[in-house]
Amino acid sequence: MAHGRNPKSLKSSATNPGTSRDVEERLRRAREAWLKESVETPRFRQRLQTLTEPHRGSLGVAAPACPEEPRWRAIHEAGHTVAQFLLKGTIPEKVTISRMGGAVQDFGNFALAAILCGDAPISLDQVAPDIDVYLAGIAAESLVATNPQWELAQSDLNAANMFIEYVEDAAPDCLEGLLEPTVQLLVDNWDLVVNVASALVSKPTLRAEQVQSCIGMVRHQNP
């Protein structure tokens, strides 16, 4: 799926050292800002609970027994992965449930850098797919458990907010507003989430071709 700005502009900026350095500096400042500040609020939590509670228990997946259970992290990372595939048309090079990484670590840096290469105002519609990818991890957890791991999701939420910082005239609650389409996307494609999560439990690190196989298997069964 096409991005709001052409990611190829990153390549062209490499021929202009000033532009390239400027983007790198702006990206560095943005990362520093979201690392220092928490954007998750009680209202955000309540909104997510309201959206996911009607589906909880009806998706055929029992809640993991405890946060240490690999299946919990697997559901989280599968949510990111499926959202990235459906909204961006890409698959992470690696998806892992180890504590050292996940599905979207490099995705956000690339996507935001592509946005910063331009000077035109950024609209919410342009960055909504990128933000939804970050929200999909905690949303997937919340669809199976009443107590998702907010600590695990904090960097995701702050990264999502990093995109909003560059949206012109963004509403204060726009992050909450994007939760509904994210949850619905996962509910509509829950078979993909389950398949990727099951594969991660069996094999804690999946390469892109293995993720593609998980998704293709479901798509072949349910064209």
Pull the structure tokens for residue 81: 């992965």
Q: Is the pLDDT of residue 125 over 90?
A: no
The closest of 42, 53, 80 to 142, measured between CA atoms, is 53
Flag the least confident range among 148-157, 190-199, 214-223: 214-223
pLDDT at 168 over 80: no
Would you state the pLDDT for residue 175?
85
Which of residues 120 and 209 earns the better pLDDT score? 209
Q: What is the pLDDT of residue 12?
A: 32
Residue 203: the pLDDT is 93
Query: How far is it, in rounded angstroms, from Cα 120 to Cα 126?
Result: 12
Residue 159 banded pLDDT, cuts 50, 70, 90: confident
In this predicted structure, the answer to whether residue 111 has a pLDDT above a threshold of 70 is no
> Is the per-residue pLDDT at 3 higher than 80?
no
Q: Give pLDDT, residue 33.
A: 53
Beta strands in the chain (DSSP E): 94-96, 205-207
pLDDT of 52 reads: 95
Q: Tell me yes or no: is domain 9-221 CATH 2.60.40.180.
A: no
Where are the chain's structural domains? 9-221
Kindly write down the DSSP assignment for every residue of 2-43, as one continuous string.
--SS-TTHHHHHTT-HHHHHHHHHHHHHHHHHHHH-----HH
DSSP state of 148: -
pTM score of the predicted model: 0.76
31 versus 121: the higher-pLDDT residue is: 121
* Cβ atoms within 10 Å of 68's Cβ, excluding its own: 8
